[in-house]
Amino acid sequence: MAEATSDSPKPGWRTVLRSLRNPKSGFMALFGFAQGLPPALFLGTLYAWLSEAEVDLETMGVFSLVGLAYAFQFLWSPLLDKVDIPGLSKLGKRKQWIAPMQLTVGIALLVMSFLDPGSSLGWFSLLAAIGAFASATQDIAINAWRIDVADEEATLDILSTITQMGFRLAALVGGAFGLIIAERIGWPQTYLIMGGIMLAIGIAGLFAPDATVSDDTAATAAANHDEVAELYNAGEVTEKVRNRALAAVGILWAWAIGIVVIFMVRSMTGAMQQVSTWNFTLFGSERYFSPAWLIGMMEAGESGRPDPTDFTTIFGPLIVLATVVLPALIAAWVAQQKREGRNVIVSAPGVGAGHEVKFTDHLYRALVLPLVEFVGRIGWSLVLILALVLTYRICDSIWGVFAYPFYLGELGYTGDEVAFASKFFGVFAIILGLALGGWIITVFGRMFTLTLGAALAAATNLLYADLAAGGATMQAASNAIGFTALIGWMAPFGSEGLARLTFTIFWENLAIGIAGAAYIAWLSSIVAKKYAAVQYALLASLTLLVGTLGRGALGEMIEDRGYYFVFIFTAVIGVVAVVLCVLEWMREARAGAKSGVVQPDPQIASAQ
């Protein structure tokens, strides 16, 4: 880390503009867009196409399974950190995964555009699953790429903000704009355009910089061998300890992967038993596609396919326990052995880079070592970090699924009014919040912005509580600043209450933008570049799963207590996140003080 000097640039808009001129920022915008477009098309807009094709709801449930690729992407994240794709490693450590996955998504969308979901549902579901898997895989690589390429000009904070901007813009293009385009030119043409966009991004991504590029495959292999051989250096834990840890973590991860695979197989075969056989034409003859044929004797059973919500609620916590919590405890045990000098290699003459490594050593390096490094570096502060990860985005991640029932059912707004307030005005507010958050980070620092974002996110729940109680305060505030008149001019079709709805959504999404920019930057800053793919994917998965796991309880609470009580309750949870942010801020400050690093300038700090 560098110390601040009198010649250091002052933080502010000039710093932001200088970062935006860096080519890395342009590629980050493309990659962020590529991250946001597939989920919008595979998990949102696609259901409108299926509804138009008169596909029944039970069959649509099969398509919801593709969302598991995003929820459990960390299960294959170790591959991206330590495995090179033959023939593509020259592209770079991250690009060898990013570009092919983007091209795969683009091809999947293009092929889908030539199919009729009513008569080719089997191929449709297969392509959606392939596209979602490729999309989730590119997410792992892009998140690691952002951490790898960040420097003093294209800072990690700015790149994180740009990522979110691209993601939100893609969600708008693939969601609201996708629906508008489909109304005019049709669904096949719409997906053809979206597929072309993904292919263009994949081709453009080939020219992006990468942190690790090697033209010598043999040299790269030798470097990887030497790195693994370092496990035999003096001071490292013995092979016996490593193998024990690897066996324990391997069994836990294998169980988790097996559970997910079995669930998806049973879901597919169960859906087949409930609907009908999917037929398609192959080489001019009629064939029938049955997932059961692919898996031999495994069947879904008499009850049909399992419920995805029940699976996530029941097995989700167990999978997190098996892949994150228990491996973290195992890693802590290994780190303690090394720290206390127990079960370590005392002397290692003639080993190190020249040692003959084993297959289990590669597995340990890919699966266990990232956890050992993280736990060993963070120590007991891991409890604080995990608590912050689990609570920071809980206000908006849990509430999101109940937004439309609240707007349409509880408050009685029309679909057009909600679309205007949430999809168009709301997305604008998020992008504005991201831009503002990026500027605040450069001026006041990452942890200040993280804490501010948590406080604003908690406060906006109080705005919704007022809306649930009638919205008198929101209406008065909207009238006072002229917002009501503005909305009346922009949306003459709306009711009298549209202004207070839009006003509330605007402030909530502005807070989400600020919090999102800071959160992604903070999450990226606490992982090690060497193990970025695994460590970031594990932490991000907790953020994604906590919202899913808490929705059942929140829905029951809404039924019993009403929306007003729930908004007050989520605001209280938000206050907990604020307290945790302050504690994390203090922890990082103490860590900086112990290392003797002087960081009076927040921009200097954000560049580290």
Bridge partners of residue 285, in order along the sequence: 282
Could you tell me if 276 and 425 lie in one domain? no
Q: Would strands 278-282 and 285-289 be described as parallel, antiparallel, or unpaired?
A: antiparallel
Residue-averaged pLDDT of the chain: 78
268: tokens are 């597919």
How confident is the model over 561-587, as pLDDT tens digits?
888 988 898 888 889 999 999 999 999
pLDDT, position 61: 60
- Mark which of 346, 371, 396 sits at the end of a domain: 371
pLDDT, position 361: 78
Could you tell me if 224 and 210 lie in one domain? no
Q: In the predicted model, what is the mean pLDDT of residues 279-286?
A: 39
Smallest CA-to-CA distance from 69 within 120, 159, 135 is with 135
What DSSP string runs through 557-570?
A: HHHHH-HHHHHHHH
Per-residue confidence band for 63, with pLDDT thresholds at 50, 70 and 90:
low
Could you tell me if 211 and 225 lie in one domain? no
Per-residue confidence band for 504, with pLDDT thresholds at 50, 70 and 90:
very high
Instruction: Kindly state the helix (H) or strand (E) to which residue 281 belongs, with its residue range.
Output: strand 278-282
Could you tell me if 384 and 362 lie in one domain? no
Per-residue confidence band for 281, with pLDDT thresholds at 50, 70 and 90:
very low
- pLDDT above 80 for 602: no
- Mark which of 215, 244, 263 sits at the end of a domain: 215
Q: Please tell me the distance from the alpha carbon of residue 427 to that of residue 174, in angstroms, as a whole number.
A: 13
pLDDT, position 606: 35
Instruction: Give buried/exposed letters for 417-430 (b at 16+ CB in 10 A, else e).
Output: bbebbbbbbbbbbb
Task: Give the CATH number of the domain where residue 91 resides.
Answer: 1.20.1250.20
417: tokens are 């009014």
Per-residue confidence band for 552, with pLDDT thresholds at 50, 70 and 90:
low
pLDDT, position 337: 86
The answer to whether position 2 is within a domain reads: no
The answer to whether position 209 is within a domain reads: yes
CA distances from 160 to 147, 167, 308, 519, 526 (A): 9, 11, 31, 9, 13
Could you tell me if 192 and 253 lie in one domain? no
Q: In the predicted model, what is the mean pLDDT of residues 216-229?
A: 58
Hey, CA dihedral for 223, 214, 154, 580, is it positive or negative? negative
pLDDT, position 65: 66
Q: Please tell me the distance from the alpha carbon of residue 118 to that of residue 127, in angstroms, as a whole number.
A: 15
**Residue 409 contacts by C-beta under 8 Å, 6 or more apart in sequence?**
none
- pLDDT above 80 for 184: yes
The answer to whether position 340 is within a domain reads: yes
**Residue 348 contacts by C-beta under 8 Å, 6 or more apart in sequence?**
232, 233, 234
Could you tell me if 263 and 401 lie in one domain? no
Q: What are phi and psi of 207, to 5 degrees?
A: -95, 5
Could you tell me if 228 and 345 lie in one domain? yes
Q: Please tell me the distance from the alpha carbon of residue 521 to that of residue 588, in angstroms, as a whole number.
A: 14
The answer to whether position 67 is within a domain reads: yes
Could you tell me if 210 and 237 lie in one domain? no
Task: Tell which wins on pLDDT, 249 or 324.
Answer: 249
Per-residue confidence band for 299, with pLDDT thresholds at 50, 70 and 90:
very low
Q: In the predicted model, what is the mean pLDDT of residues 43-61?
A: 72
Q: Are 472 and 466 in contact (CB under 8 A)?
A: yes
Give the total number of structural domains in the chain.
Answer: 3
- pLDDT above 90 for 604: no
Q: Which domain holds residue 49?
A: 9-215
Q: Please tell me the distance from the alpha carbon of residue 152 to that of residue 33, in angstroms, as a whole number.
A: 23
Q: In the predicted model, what is the mean pLDDT of residues 45-62?
A: 71
The answer to whether position 351 is within a domain reads: yes
Residue in the structure block whose two tokens are 């980070």: 441
Per-residue confidence band for 254, with pLDDT thresholds at 50, 70 and 90:
confident
Q: Which of 35-49, 52-66, 483-497 is predicted with the least confidence, judged by mean pLDDT?
A: 52-66
- Mark which of 326, 353, 371 sits at the end of a domain: 371
**Residue 499 contacts by C-beta under 8 Å, 6 or more apart in sequence?**
475, 478, 479, 483, 484, 487, 488
The answer to whether position 1 is within a domain reads: no
How confident is the model over 69-109, as pLDDT tens digits?
787 787 788 888 777 888 887 888 889 999 999 999 999 99
Report DSSP state, residue 287: E
Per-residue confidence band for 487, with pLDDT thresholds at 50, 70 and 90:
confident
User: Can you list the alpha helix ranges (DSSP code H) found in 321-425?
Assistant: 326-340, 359-363, 369-378, 381-392, 394-399, 403-404, 415-418
Percent of the chain with pLDDT over 70: 76
Cα angle, residue 73 at apex, residues 229 and 544 outer, rounded to 5°: 125
333: tokens are 């045990």
Could you tell me if 446 and 586 lie in one domain? yes
Residue in the structure block whose two tokens are 């263009």: 200
pLDDT, position 20: 66
- pLDDT above 80 for 306: no
Could you tell me if 239 and 252 lie in one domain? yes
Q: Please tell me the distance from the alpha carbon of residue 534 to that of residue 50, in angstroms, as a whole number.
A: 35
Q: Are 70 and 152 in contact (CB under 8 A)?
A: no
Q: Please tell me the distance from the alpha carbon of residue 167 to that of residue 37, in angstroms, as a whole number.
A: 7
Q: In the predicted model, what is the mean pLDDT of residues 163-177?
A: 85
What DSSP string runs through 78-132?
A: HHHHH-PPTTTGGG-TTHHHHHHHHHHHHHHHHHHHTS-TTT-HHHHHHHHHHHH
pLDDT, position 98: 93
The answer to whether position 290 is within a domain reads: yes
Could you tell me if 224 and 211 lie in one domain? no
pLDDT, position 285: 40
Q: Please tell me the distance from the alpha carbon of residue 481 to that of residue 487, in angstroms, as a whole number.
A: 12
pLDDT, position 139: 92
Could you tell me if 205 and 306 lie in one domain? no
How confident is the model over 450-479, as pLDDT tens digits?
999 999 988 998 999 999 998 899 999 999
Q: Please tell me the distance from the alpha carbon of residue 597 to that of residue 358, in angstroms, as a whole number.
A: 40
Q: Which of 260-274, 394-408, 487-501 is predicted with the least confidence, judged by mean pLDDT?
A: 260-274
The answer to whether position 3 is within a domain reads: no
Per-residue confidence band for 180, with pLDDT thresholds at 50, 70 and 90:
confident
Q: Are 568 and 575 in contact (CB under 8 A)?
A: no
pTM of the model: 0.74
Hey, CA dihedral for 529, 531, 533, 537, is it positive or negative? negative
